[in-house]
Amino acid sequence: MISVTIRSGALTDKLEILARMQRQPVQTFGEALLSDAINAALEKLPIEVRNAIETLIEATPDYNTTTLNGTPVVAYAAPRLRFVRDLINPLPPHGVIRITVPGDGVYVMTKAEFDRDFANVANSRAYTQSGYYHYPSVPRKAEPYREVENDREVESA
């Protein structure tokens, strides 16, 4: 979710008037307007740049953050075992990371376990600079955290 603050009184007034004319709440109309503006800007870019942007969007996992009995949980799916810095780093040591890799299983660990057993990931250039690290194949050290899908119930985050 992105929040936008309009600092110009004139723009705010115009937005409110346009929203009223469309009989929509300002937020709904503003979101639609911003979406249209972003899509129009993307259409003006060279096809290679648009394709690169689409690739980045597809590489960004959908995620869910919640709490389970007071414990913060971040859950997401990825085609391979992938650690996402902006989702993992904010967790406290007892926070839970739940990564679903379709066809392989669900990897569940605490932030403290990630810090201890995957320190090489947290210190890698890919993780620190790009924001994510993925393994081409699952390393042995991840196996203790793997829960095979449908083998036993994995509590949903």
**What pLDDT, on the 0 to 100 scale, is given for residue 155?**
46
pLDDT digits (tens, 9 = 90+) for 109-132: 999 999 999 999 999 998 998 888
How wide is the angle at C-alpha 67 spanned by C-alphas 65 and 71, nearest 5°? 120
Separation between Cα atoms, residue 33 and residue 21, nearest integer Å: 14
pTM: 0.57
Give me the DSSP letters along 23-76: T--HHHHHHHHHHHHHHHHHHTS-HHHHHHHHHHHHHSPPEEEEEETTEEEEEE
Residue 95 token pair = 């926070």
Q: Considering the chain, what percentage of its residues have pLDDT values greater than 70?
A: 83
C-alpha dihedral over 51, 88, 76, 83, to 10 degrees? Answer: 60
Strand 132-134 vs strand 82-84: parallel, antiparallel, or unpaired?
antiparallel
pLDDT digits (tens, 9 = 90+) for 1-39: 455 666 667 777 887 888 788 787 777 777 778 778 877
In the chain, what are the domain boundaries? 9-57, 62-147
